[in-house]
Amino acid sequence: MPSFDLVSKVDLQTLDNAVNVTSKEITNRFDFKGSHVVIDLNKKDLVLKLEADSEMKIQQIVDVLISRSMKQGLAAEIYDLSKEAFPSGKVTKKDVPVRNGIKQEDAKKIVKLIKDSGLKVQAAIMDDIIRITGKKIDDLQEVIQLSKSWSLGIALQYVNMKS
């Protein structure tokens, strides 16, 4: 039976490259000359720590980070930008968690969306992966097309396609 896996994974090396390119670009920009800027990726916890002189500069760093990440092939949805920047002494800090894997509640939403679509496929949650199986590859391709229209706020990849 044909199947594929729906995942939300971040390639750590690509993410590290995007952070390094962002850091280089920010240090070379005229409006950041002489400013306190820290862009640090904690690879273990997948949290990006940003520090700058003001909240406006933090936002500029985030904008550059997203554009550089997209050029590296990463989706903008991998960054959880819901947390606000907070002042800490003379600098402003912001922690940006990187989403890696599909959370249980998001997985349940995805399975419900697939079941509500009426397509003849089965979806099973396996930790942070959703395995989708069907009798025909065409049904699986319809699920892929359908999933591109969902606005869940997470980056989805389609891997391990078997026929």
What's residue 87's pLDDT?
92
Query: Rounded CA gap, 6 and 86, in Å?
Result: 35
First to last CA, the chain: 6
CA 156 to chain centre: 8
What are the CB-based long-range contacts (under 8 Å, 24+) for 137-142?
A: 137/2, 137/163, 140/2, 140/3, 140/4
Question: Could you tell me the pTM of the whole model?
Answer: 0.83
35 and 92: one domain?
Answer: yes
81 and 131: one domain?
Answer: no
Question: What is the C-alpha R_g of the chain?
Answer: 19
89 and 110: one domain?
Answer: no
Contact 132, 121 (CB under 8 A): yes
pLDDT, tens digit, 9 for 90 and up, residues 84-111:
999 988 999 999 999 988 989 999 999 9
Query: Rounded CA gap, 158 and 38, in Å?
Result: 34
CATH number at residue 53: 3.30.70.990
Where does a domain end: 72, 97, 122?
Answer: 97
Q: Which domain holds residue 106?
A: 3-8+101-162
pLDDT, tens digit, 9 for 90 and up, residues 120-140:
999 999 888 999 999 989 989
